[in-house]
């Protein structure tokens, strides 16, 4: 196999394998994911095979990184017979370390010397190459032994090639270790590789792939076939994130049975040879999806790249992951250490039986020389210990071992934790529950943790209930919050259930000192969104973003971006809303804040729907629903339905819109625990009226009457809904009263839709003179904020009143080169899908471009593109 652009690296590998004079007989390849380290390692192994050199080693696995000497077991498993050739002391040492004989663990030097002695014995029968992939995942005790061996290869017939992730800024390179950084391909090599793998790409597509791949071979291979989900990532998302998201998109297209089996395999250290549950056809499906590949393992298959494993694990819901760990814990009953880690990952609620089993295995690990790993295991055992005193005792034991292993700062931290658990166990539980909720969106685990401890984490329970939208959960939370001493939790509880008062929220925000904790600021600003108070506290939102984005509380900075996006959307500042949501999404992706990331994806889907970009709205909703449904996240599912409903309405599909709106709030029922239900009133009633469901519309409008006093914008919605079901004469008066409410133009999108409804009513009443000013004002408002589809509707109504709507002048146009190409192809009659295939874009991206192009050209339809483009000169293109 030819490897393009790696002559220097291949030469270095051959010199190490050949033990060329003056060249260290070891080489450690390091570089970014996908840069080609594994390919080079396999090339080195193949070259060694051609020279008749025996290869030992293996691969590091994240699932085994906590198992003391798991890597050493891989190294020696094929040559166990050589233990009989070394001195009895060395033989006894290794057998105890590998778990083949009982007894205390020897010191690390004895283990290292014994390991070298065995390898030297193997080399007496012929030269040996030690090859290790993903060396960064090799367990720490084995790494220490391997470092000892790497510095002592020369006197024996040994050489070594390791591959690992990039060095960090703080890592120190040991003298005598040959570190070779594998960088990106140069432009010429990258172009050759792309042309070999994906010939005949159109020049603009080829340039785009090369620019985005930046010389990364895996990216060059994968980007031309990644899923559209990648395009929903923020512009600043790392290449690793983009590739991982692409693999995840392919995974989600597979049947659940295959996904489940691949998840178990990924968590079990890539052991596809142990997974006989899939039929040959199912394995072929996974191979066709580019997730597994053929090689020389017993099954003939392995995951195509470590990023595939991480994509599989990240895509699974927390419950699915715990179930897979439970399966593995059962499968590994004969291996106490491996079983220990799978049990730890499978258990959420405090469980003394599980904690005791982990504790026992941790003590065994420490006796084998894995003190540092035992510390981590004892920490997890403490997490699962119900009794505060026993929990503190396990933390103190972990601190003792940490001190012994030289981790003095960690030892002190563990002692501090032990004291806190004795002093305030409820607070420690609340912190754990919050992490579960924010990082993985695991609402069920967070609730279960707190449910058994009265008074623990009332604020976390309120926030979890607001996402779950489960009436039974809200009833439990109400019982827990009633009478608690957390005023903020009580306030948010009342606001989220529609019982709060704007005056109380305003009073709480106004009373905040300048240096108030960011968590309190974020929580109160979230309450302010329910009361339409957010515009008055923009300085607080800006403070969250500016003060916490860097090294501060990034969780609250991400909330700040969501609040800013929400505020900008309602104010009609849609470009600012999009920028804020994308910046917040980038922050969440970098810090694994899945819950808040999906808050922001809901905001971006809302923007797309309001603009009339139905394809983008559907893609965001698909992403959100795939994540939210397994987690029981009712809020995100409601917001996804809202976005799909609004997109359908923008294009006049009221039957679909009605189905989506009623999935949020049934006709005549406005559930207090469903956050968006009050805000769906106007749209649900309009969808019902438009589809002939008059009774349902009237019932729902009547049920909404009590909501009008809750918030100013909600009053506008309720009055407009009541106008839609009133007799025509009364309806006109109700619409005008709604539009006359104070400061309604603060919300241009809402205001414009109410004006559009009034104008449509007047036109149907055959009063064109009274309809025209309403429709003209609505069209102008829609145009001003970029609601292109709604602008088209308003202008179509204007034409029906006899007004000739002319193209809006826009001399500058401001089209980008890509937008101009999209416009020209659309003008030629190609569909979005055909344009996407030609330009290597998804149909969603094409649609998004068109909805930005129309306002710039001053048009409202594809039919007008040809004429509009005649006025576009090269100078008018950005």
Q: Residue 709 and residue 717: Cα distance in Å, rounded?
A: 11
Question: Residue 685: which residues within 8 A CB-CB, separation 6 or more?
Answer: 697, 700, 701, 704, 721, 724, 725
| Segment (H or E) for 833 | helix 832-839
Direct distance between the N- and C-terminal alpha carbons of the chain, in angstroms, rounded to an integer: 44
Q: What is the pLDDT of residue 851?
A: 67
Residue 816 has pLDDT above 60, yes or no: yes
pLDDT band with cut points at 50, 70 and 90 for residue 694:
very high
Mean per-residue pLDDT, 623-647: 93
| Segment (H or E) for 518 | helix 518-530
DSSP state of 56: E
Q: Residues 564-620: pLDDT tens digits?
A: 999 999 999 998 998 899 889 888 887 778 899 999 999 999 999 998 888 888 888
Cα atoms in the Cβ-side hemisphere of radius 13 Å centred on 393: 9
Residue 19 tokens read as 């033990």
**Mean pLDDT across the chain:** 84
Choose from 652-666, 760-774, 842-856 the range with maximum mean pLDDT.
652-666
DSSP 674-735: STTGGGGHHHHHHHHHHTT-HHHHHHHHHHGGGGTTT-HHHHHHHHHHHHHHS-HHHHHHHH
Q: What is the pLDDT of residue 58?
A: 86
829 class by beta-carbon count within 10 Å (0-12 exposed, 13-18 middle, 19+ buried): exposed
Q: Residues 193-205: pLDDT tens digits?
A: 988 888 887 787 7
Q: Residues 222-240: pLDDT tens digits?
A: 777 654 444 554 545 556 6
pLDDT band with cut points at 50, 70 and 90 for residue 13:
very high
Q: What is the pLDDT of residue 274?
A: 44
Higher per-residue confidence, 144 vs 851: 144
- Note the pTM of the prediction, 2 decimals: 0.67
Radius of gyration of the chain (CA): 31
pLDDT band with cut points at 50, 70 and 90 for residue 297:
very low
Question: Residue 602: which residues within 8 A CB-CB, separation 6 or more?
Answer: 620, 624, 636, 639, 640, 643
Mean per-residue pLDDT, 695-708: 93
Q: Residues 464-486: pLDDT tens digits?
A: 999 999 999 999 999 888 878 88
Q: Which residues of 485-504 are buried (b: 16+ CB within 10 A; e: fewer)?
A: eeebbbbbbbbbbbebebeb
Q: What is the pLDDT of residue 833?
A: 74
Residue 287 has pLDDT above 80, yes or no: no
Residue 811 has pLDDT above 50, yes or no: no
C-alpha distances in Å from residue 502, one per residue of 529, 531, 561:
10, 6, 23
Which has the minimum average pLDDT: 452-461, 589-598, 657-666? Answer: 452-461
Q: Residue 199 and residue 387: Cα distance in Å, rounded?
A: 64
Give all strands of the β-sheet with 158-164 in edge-to-edge order: 54-59, 128-133, 158-164, 26-30, 179-181
Q: What is the pLDDT of residue 495?
A: 92
Q: What is the pLDDT of residue 420?
A: 76
Higher per-residue confidence, 428 vs 56: 56
Higher per-residue confidence, 442 vs 201: 442
DSSP state of 132: E
Q: What is the pLDDT of residue 339?
A: 85
pLDDT band with cut points at 50, 70 and 90 for residue 63:
low
Specify which residues 57 forms β-bridges with: 131
Choose from 108-112, 217-221, 521-525, 851-855 the range with maximum mean pLDDT.
521-525
Q: Residue 125 and residue 450: Cα distance in Å, rounded?
A: 61
Residue 50 has pLDDT above 90, yes or no: yes
Q: Residue 325 and residue 335: Cα distance in Å, rounded?
A: 14
Q: Residue 369 and residue 485: Cα distance in Å, rounded?
A: 48
Q: What is the pLDDT of residue 298?
A: 47
Q: Residue 855 and residue 851: Cα distance in Å, rounded?
A: 7
Q: Residue 824 and residue 834: Cα distance in Å, rounded?
A: 13
Q: Residue 561 and residue 114: Cα distance in Å, rounded?
A: 57
pLDDT band with cut points at 50, 70 and 90 for residue 295:
low
Q: Residue 859 and residue 708: Cα distance in Å, rounded?
A: 38
**% of the chain beyond a pLDDT of 90:** 39
In terms of DSSP bridges, do strands 54-59 and 128-133 run parallel, antiparallel, or are they unpaired? Answer: parallel
3-class state of residue 162 by DSSP: strand
Q: Residue 451 and residue 471: Cα distance in Å, rounded?
A: 16
Q: What is the pLDDT of residue 34?
A: 84
Q: Residues 263-286: pLDDT tens digits?
A: 888 887 655 554 556 677 777 777
Residue 777 has pLDDT above 90, yes or no: yes
pLDDT band with cut points at 50, 70 and 90 for residue 843:
low
Specify the long-range contacts of residues 581-586, CB closer than 8 Å, at least 24 apart: 581/607, 582/234, 582/235, 583/234, 584/557, 584/558, 584/560, 585/233, 585/234, 585/561, 586/234, 586/235, 586/236, 586/237
In this structure, the number of other CB atoms found within 10 A of the CB of residue 600 comes to 27
Higher per-residue confidence, 696 vs 480: 696
DSSP 188-237: HHHHHHHHHHSTT--HHHHHHHHHHHTT-HHHHHHGGG--GGGGGS-TT-
């Amino acid at each position: 196999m030819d490897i393009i652009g790696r002559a220097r690296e291949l030469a270095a590998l051959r010199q190490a394998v050949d033990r060329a004079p003056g060249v260290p007989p070891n080489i450690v390849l390091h570089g970014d994911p996908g840069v080609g380290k594994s390919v080079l390692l396999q090339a080195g192994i193949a070259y060694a095979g051609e020279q008749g050199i025996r290869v030992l080693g293996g691969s590091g696995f994240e699932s085994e990184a906590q198992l003391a000497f798991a890597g050493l077991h891989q190294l020696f498993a094929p040559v166990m017979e050589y233990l009989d050739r070394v001195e009895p002391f060395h033989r006894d040492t290794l057998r105890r370390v590998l778990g083949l004989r009982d007894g205390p663990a020897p010191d690390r030097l004895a283990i290292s010397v014994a390991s070298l002695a065995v390898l030297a014995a193997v080399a007496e029968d012929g030269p040996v190459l030690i090859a290790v992939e993903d060396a960064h995942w090799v367990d720490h005790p084995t790494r220490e032994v391997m470092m000892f061996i790497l510095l002592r290869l020369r006197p024996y017939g040994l050489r070594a090639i390791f591959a690992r992730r990039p060095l960090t800024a703080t890592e120190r390179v040991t003298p005598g270790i040959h570190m070779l950084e594998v960088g990106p391909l140069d432009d010429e090599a990258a172009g050759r590789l792309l042309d070999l793998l994906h010939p005949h790409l159109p020049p603009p597509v080829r340039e785009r792939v090369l620019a985005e791949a930046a010389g990364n071979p895996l990216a060059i291979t994968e980007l031309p076939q990644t899923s559209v989900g990648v395009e929903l990532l923020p512009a600043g998302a790392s290449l690793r994130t983009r590739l991982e998201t692409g693999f995840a998109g392919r995974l989600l297209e597979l049947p659940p049975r295959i996904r489940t089996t691949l998840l178990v395999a990924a968590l079990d250290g890539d052991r596809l040879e142990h997974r006989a549950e899939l039929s040959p056809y199912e394995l072929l499906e996974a191979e066709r999806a580019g997730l597994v590949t053929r090689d020389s393992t017993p099954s003939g298959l392995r995951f195509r790249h470590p990023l595939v494993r991480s994509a599989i694990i990240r895509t699974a819901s927390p419950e699915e992951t715990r179930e897979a760990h439970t399966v593995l814990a059962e499968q590994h009953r004969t291996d106490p250490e491996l079983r220990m880690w799978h049990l730890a990952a499978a258990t959420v609620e405090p469980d003394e039986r599980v904690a005791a089993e982990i504790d026992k295995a941790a003590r065994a690990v420490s006796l084998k020389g894995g003190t540092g790993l035992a510390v981590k295991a004892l920490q997890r055992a403490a997490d699962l210990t119900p009794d505060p005193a026993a929990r503190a005792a396990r933390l103190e034991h972990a601190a003792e071992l940490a001190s012994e292993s030289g981790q003095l700062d960690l030892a002190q931290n563990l002692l501090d934790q032990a004291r806190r658990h004795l002093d305030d166990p409820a607070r420690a539980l609340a912190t754990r529950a919050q992490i579960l909720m924010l990082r993985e969106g695991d609402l069920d685990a967070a609730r279960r943790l707190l449910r058994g401890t009265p008074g623990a984490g009332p604020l976390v329970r309120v926030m979890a209930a607001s996402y779950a939208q489960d009436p039974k959960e809200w009833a439990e939370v109400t019982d827990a919050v009633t009478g608690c001493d957390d005023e903020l939790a009580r306030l948010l509880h009342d606001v989220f259930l529609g019982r709060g008062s704007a005056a109380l929220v305003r009073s709480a925000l106004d009373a905040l000192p300048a240096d108030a904790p960011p968590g309190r600021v974020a929580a109160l600003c979230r309450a302010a969104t329910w009361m339409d108070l957010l515009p008055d506290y923009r300085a607080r939102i800006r403070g969250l973003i500016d003060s916490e984005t860097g090294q501060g509380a990034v969780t609250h900075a991400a909330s700040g971006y969501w609040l800013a996006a929400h505020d900008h959307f309602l104010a009609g500042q849609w470009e600012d809303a999009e920028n804020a949501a994308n910046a917040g999404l980038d922050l969440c992706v970098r810090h694994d804040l899945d819950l808040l990331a999906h808050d922001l994806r809901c905001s971006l889907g809302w923007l797309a729907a309001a603009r009339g970009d139905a394809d983008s709205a559907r893609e965001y909703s698909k992403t959100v629903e795939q994540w939210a449904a397994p987690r029981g996240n009712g809020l995100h599912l409601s917001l996804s339905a809202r976005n799909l409903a609004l997109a359908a309405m923008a294009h006049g599909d009221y039957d679909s819109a009605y189905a989506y709106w009623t999935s949020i709030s049934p006709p005549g029922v406005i559930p207090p625990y469903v956050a968006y239900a009050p805000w769906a009133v106007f749209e649900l009633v309009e969808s019902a009226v438009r589809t002939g469901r008059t009774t349902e519309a009237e019932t729902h409008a009547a049920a909404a009457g009590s909501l009008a006093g809750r918030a100013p914008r909600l009053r506008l919605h309720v009055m407009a809904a009541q106008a839609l079901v009133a007799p025509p004469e009364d309806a006109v008066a109700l619409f005008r009263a709604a539009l006359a409410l104070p400061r309604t133009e603060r919300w241009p999108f809402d205001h414009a839709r109410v004006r559009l409804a009034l104008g449509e009513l007047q036109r149907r009443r055959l009063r064109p003179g009274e309809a025209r000013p309403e429709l003209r004002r609505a069209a102008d408002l829609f145009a001003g904020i970029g609601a292109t589809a709604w602008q088209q509707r308003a202008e179509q109504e204007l034409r029906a009143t006899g007004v000739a709507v002319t193209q809006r002048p826009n001399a500058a146009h401001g089209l980008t080169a890509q937008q101009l190409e999209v416009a020209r192809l659309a003008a030629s009659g190609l569909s979005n899908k055909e344009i996407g295939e030609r330009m290597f874009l998804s149909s969603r991206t094409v649609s998004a471009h068109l909805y930005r192009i129309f306002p710039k050209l001053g048009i409202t339809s594809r039919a007008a593109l040809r004429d509009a483009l005649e006025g576009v000169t090269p100078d008018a293109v950005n």
